[in-house]
Amino acid sequence: MPGQTQMGTFATNARPLFTCFGYSNLGLPLNPRDAIFYQTTPDFFGFTANAFGFAFRDLGLGTFLRSGPGSAPNPNSAWVPLAPRMDGRQQVSTIRNVAMTPPQCPTTEAPGPYFQKEFFHNGYIKSLKQLVHFYNTRDKYAYPVTSGHCPSGTTEKVHCWPMPEVPNNIDMTTGNLGLTDQEENQIVAFLQTLTDGFTRPYANIDTFTGFTGTCMSGGTAATQGNGTLIPTPSPLPPCASAICGVAPLPSATIP
Ligand code: HEM
């Protein structure tokens, strides 16, 4: 959470938003549970979300700058040459209220009772413990595999991080932080303090009818959600040329 707030510079009465308002590629693996990979045919409105199936790659800001598939057009042609330096970068989201849950479920973390959330832009991460462990060990436990194919004897998200969906422009200020298990837990506890309670249960009381599901319980936060892992297709189709073959080309081949 770089920067955390603009308060020190100008907005002395602002509430901290806990984002630097920037864009980074954290190196998240392709998540084969992401619905986008299956939305290959027109929906009710004739809209096809992703004609490329598993040849889709989310280049983030790079796709926007190239006015690529699924993106609004880039309004400024002078920005286009920057695309290769922006491939894979996603917006640094606010982490204010990142641990927010429905009132019935006190936490996002197993064993709970917990509310299952997904974190980061593609939902690959299922708990804040996994999120902090990813920042801490992405490069320490890096394997040249896709999700669902970690070597036997390893546990995905614990001692195995599959390769990034977009290997270009990876942020190297994180990835091997040398934190202990306890220090990871302390950061999770900190993230849980960012729930401000101000709009709890939800801001729009007229439309939110209440959480009617049940909380989940059991397991550990480190392996939370691993029961629903599915193998990424193997071999994974290469990135579609309509995404990765558009000028200005990515600085390195995106597999
Ligand atoms: C240990 C330090 C850090 C912690 C605890 C942390 C925590 C978080 C959390 C909780 C989220 C929100 C996830 C969500 O709501 O789905 C997030 C998102 C993000 N953070 Fe960090 N962060 C850290 C360091 C950094 C650094 C140093 C950078 C960039 C240089 C960064 C870039 C991002 C980006 C790009 C996202 C959005 C990623 C996506 O949606 O795929 N973070 N971070």
pLDDT per residue as tens digits for the range 96-106: 999 998 878 99
CA of 200 to the centre of ligand 1 (A): 23
The tokens for 128 are 């804040």
pTM of the model: 0.92
What integer pLDDT is reported at residue 205 of this predicted model?
58
Going by C-alpha positions, the residue among 130, 106, 128, 93 that lies closest to residue 200 is 106
**By the 8 A CB rule, do 226 and 147 touch?**
no
Ligand 1 pocket test: which of 20, 87, 95 has the largest number of ligand atoms within 8 Å of its C-beta? Answer: 95
Ligand 1 pocket test: which of 90, 120, 166 has the largest number of ligand atoms within 8 Å of its C-beta? Answer: 120
- Output DSSP code: residue 47: -
110 ligand 1 Cβ < 6 A: no
- Per DSSP, the three-state class of 160 is strand
Going by C-alpha positions, the residue among 155, 151, 122 that lies closest to residue 37 is 122
Q: Where are the domains of the chain?
A: 9-92+234-244
Q: Which atom of ligand 1 is nearest to the CA of 24?
A: 35
Going by C-alpha positions, the residue among 135, 49, 137, 35 that lies closest to residue 92 is 135
Tens-place pLDDT, residues 45-91: 999 999 999 999 999 999 999 999 989 999 999 999 999 999 999 99
